[in-house]
Amino acid sequence: MTKALRFILGDQLSADISCLRGIAPDDVVLMCEVCEEATYVRHHKKKIAFLFSAMRHFAEELGDAGHTLDYVRFEACVGSFTDALSEAARRHEADRIVVTEASEWRVLEMQRGWAETLGIDVEIRPDDRFIATKQEFADWAKDRKELRMEFFYREMRRKTGYLMDANGGPEGGQWNYDKDNRDPLPEDAKVPKRPDFSVDGITEDVIDLVAKRFADHPGELEPFNYPVTRRQATYYLNWFIGEALPSFGDFQDAMQQGEPLLFHSHLSALINCGLLDPAECCEKAETAWREGSVPLNAAEGFIRQIIGWREYVRGVYWLKMPDYRDANALSAGRDLPDFFWTGDTQMNCLRQSISETLENAYAHHIQRLMLIGNFALLAGFEPKQVQDWYLEIYHDAYDWVEMPNVVGMILYADGGVVASKPYAASGAYINRMSDYCGSCRYSVTKKNGAKACPFNYLYWNFLIENRDRFRDNHRMRMIYKTLDRMGDEKTIAVKEDSARFFKALSRGEI
C-alpha cells in the first residue's frame, strides 16, 4: 500500500488545487507554518495574520470534507518547508510526495531538490489556476522585439472569450478603455462602505501569535477586517461587483486622502492565495456588464487588470528569472529612507499612502505606481531594497507578482521589458489625480526652491541624469525637446534643488 503526502503551500488555498487530485483515502494532506517563510523578509504583521488564518480555516474545511490533515503550527518551531516535509514523511511513513509547483522561483527550486534531499519520490504538478500556462507566454514572447501587455491581453481576451462580440471582436469596438479610467474624484463622490468580517476564534489565536512572535515586523495588526475563508471571500467579491465595480472604471486612477480603497476591489490577496479564482472574478464582472448593472469601461478595466496585467507579470517573471531579480539597468543605488517604515515625511502624498500601507498592508495601484513607485524611480533607490519593501509590506505580495511590477514597471530596472518608457511624473499629475497637495508643506505649483514640490525638480533631474538612455525613446522625444529648451539657469536650479533634497533625505529631514 502506498501513502502520499499531499503538500499544500500557503498560496495554494484552492479546493481543486492540482496536488489534491486523485487523492487516496490513506493519503495525508500536509500544511505548515514555518519560520523561513514568515521571516525571509519581515512581512507586514497583517499579511502574516491573514495568511495563517486563511491557512488554518482552509485546513479545517479540508478536514470537514473528509481528508486526513497534518497541520504544523508556527508554535511547533519548524524551520523550513524542507524540514516540515522531512519530519512529516517520517511521521506518516509516506513513500511519495505530491505538490503543486510553487508560484515563486525560490520555492520551486526547493521543490525540485526534495527528491534528492529527502530520498523520496516527488511529483510536481502544474498550477493551472492561471489563464495562460508558462509555455503559452513563452511562445507568445518568442521572436517579439517588445513584450507589450496590451497585445498579450488581446490574446487572453480571445482565449477566454471575455467581453468578445459575436464576430470575434471586442465588445464596444475597443479592446481597451484605459482613457476612460482616469477621472479625478468629484467632491460629492460617494465611496461605498466596506462590509465587516467578524474575527472568529481561529483569527483571534493567530492575532495573538503574530502580536507575540512578530512584534518587530512592520505594520499594524489591528483592527483586522479582511476575509479569511472561501465563503467570506466570495461574499466580498459579490459585494465588490454590486457596490464598487460600477464606479471602478471611471475612478481607477484617482487618489483621495482618507479613502484607501475608493472603488478598488481589494481582492488581490484573496486571488493570490487561492481563495478566489481569477476566472470567476472576471466572469462575474462580465455578467454584471451583460445584465446592465456596470458600464463597459468598468468591466473591461477590471478584467484587463486580471487577465492582462496579472497574467502578463507572471509570464515575464518566469521568462526572465533568475537574472531578473538582480536587474538594475539605471544603476540606481540610493538607500531607502527610514520613512518608508514610519510614514513620517513632510511630503503629504507619501505620508498618506505609506501610513495607509502600514495600517492596512494595502495601497491601491496608483498609490503603488505613481506615488511611491514614481518617487522610488526619481530618487534612484536601489532595486533590491525596493523589491524587499514591496514584498514585505503588502498583503498580496509574492515575488512572482511584486518583482515585475517593481523591477519592470516602476523602476525601469529591466531596461524596458515591461514599460516602454519610465513611469515618471511631476507633482502636476499627483495634484490632478488626488487631493493630497492642498494639505502639503510643499507647493505643487512651485518648480524650484525650498518650498517647491520635490516631485517637480526630481522629475527633471531624472531626465537630465538619464538623458543618454532615454532621449531617443520615441515616447520621450517631446519631453527631451522641452528639456533641451530649458535654459542653463533652470537646469542648474533643478540640479541644486535635487542635490539639496538628497542631502536632506540622507539626514532623515524630509
How many residues touch ligand DLZ (CB under 6 A)?
Answer: 16
The three-class DSSP label of residue 174 is: coil
69, 94, 107, 363: which one binds ligand DLZ (CB under 6 A): 107
d(CA 466, CA 417): 17
Question: What count of Cα atoms within 13 Å lies in the side-chain half-sphere of residue 177?
Answer: 22
d(CA 279, CA 146): 27
d(CA 363, CA 419): 21
14, 18, 100, 348: which one binds ligand SF4 (CB under 6 A): 348
Give the nearest distance from C-beta 220 to ligand SF4 in angstroms. 23
d(CA 432, CA 346): 20
H/E stretch holding 109 reads helix 105-118
430, 433, 476, 510: which one binds ligand SF4 (CB under 6 A): 430
Query: Based on CB atoms, which residue is closest to ligand SF4, 248 or 436?
Result: 436
Separation in Å, CA 432 to CA 183, 184, 191, 427, 436: 9, 7, 19, 9, 10
- Options 124-132, 153-161, 417-425, 429-437: segment touching ligand SF4 (CB under 6 A): 429-437
Give the nearest distance from C-beta 405 to ligand SF4 in angstroms. 21
Query: Based on CB atoms, which residue is closest to ligand SF4, 50 or 442?
Result: 442
CB atoms within 10 A of CB 455: 26
- Cβ atoms of 210 and 45 closer than 8 Å: yes
- Cβ atoms of 177 and 297 closer than 8 Å: yes
Look-up of cell digits 533625505: 505
Q: Is 455 in the site for ligand SF4 (CB under 6 A)?
A: yes
Query: Based on CB atoms, which residue is closest to ligand FAD, 302 or 462?
Result: 302
Separation in Å, CA 24 to CA 112, 121, 148: 24, 16, 44
Residue 347 interacts with, from ligand SF4, ligand DLZ, ligand FAD, none (CB under 5-8 Å by kind) = ligand SF4
Buried b vs exposed e over 84-105: b needs ≥16 C-beta within 10 Å?
A: bbbbbbeebebeebbbbbbbbb
Q: Is 199 in the site for ligand SF4 (CB under 6 A)?
A: no
Look-up of cell digits 526572465: 320
Quick note: the x/- pattern for ligand DLZ over 14-43, rule CB under 6 A, is: ------------------xxx--xx----x
DSSP for residue 160:
H
Query: Based on CB atoms, which residue is closest to ligand DLZ, 9 or 424?
Result: 9
Query: Based on CB atoms, which residue is closest to ligand FAD, 266 or 351?
Result: 266
Query: Based on CB atoms, which residue is closest to ligand SF4, 437 or 476?
Result: 437
Cα torsion 157, 162, 165, 170 to 10°: value is -40
Residue 396 interacts with, from ligand FAD, ligand SF4, ligand DLZ, none (CB under 5-8 Å by kind) = ligand FAD
Residue 206 interacts with, from ligand SF4, ligand DLZ, ligand FAD, none (CB under 5-8 Å by kind) = none
Angle between helices 278-290 and 230-239 (to 10 degrees): 30
Q: Is 388 in the site for ligand DLZ (CB under 6 A)?
A: no
Query: Based on CB atoms, which residue is closest to ligand DLZ, 103 or 374?
Result: 103
Binding site for ligand FAD (CB under 6 A): 264-268, 271-272, 302, 305-306, 309-310, 313, 364-365, 368-369, 373, 390, 394, 396-397, 401-402, 405-406, 409-410
Q: Is 102 in the site for ligand DLZ (CB under 6 A)?
A: yes
Query: Based on CB atoms, which residue is closest to ligand SF4, 172 or 343?
Result: 343
Residue 107 interacts with, from ligand FAD, ligand SF4, ligand DLZ, none (CB under 5-8 Å by kind) = ligand DLZ
- Cell, residue 1: 500500500
Look-up of cell digits 478566489: 276
- Options 111-119, 248-256, 343-351, 469-477: segment touching ligand SF4 (CB under 6 A): 343-351
108, 270, 444, 494: which one binds ligand SF4 (CB under 6 A): 444
Please give the full DSSP string across 424-493, using - where no structure is assigned.
Answer: ---HHHHHHH-S-GGG-SSBTT--SSTTB-HHHHHHHHHHHHTHHHHTT-TTTHHHHHHHHHS-HHHHHH
Give the nearest distance from C-beta 495 to ligand SF4 in angstroms. 19
Residue 453 interacts with, from ligand FAD, ligand SF4, ligand DLZ, none (CB under 5-8 Å by kind) = ligand SF4
Query: Based on CB atoms, which residue is closest to ligand DLZ, 81 or 251?
Result: 81
Angle between helices 45-64 and 201-213 (to 10 degrees): 140
Residues in the site for ligand DLZ, rule: CB under 6 A?
9-11, 32-34, 37-38, 43, 48, 51, 102-104, 107, 398
Please give the residue ranges that form the binding site for ligand SF4 (CB under 6 A).
347-349, 427, 430-431, 436-437, 440, 442, 444, 453-455
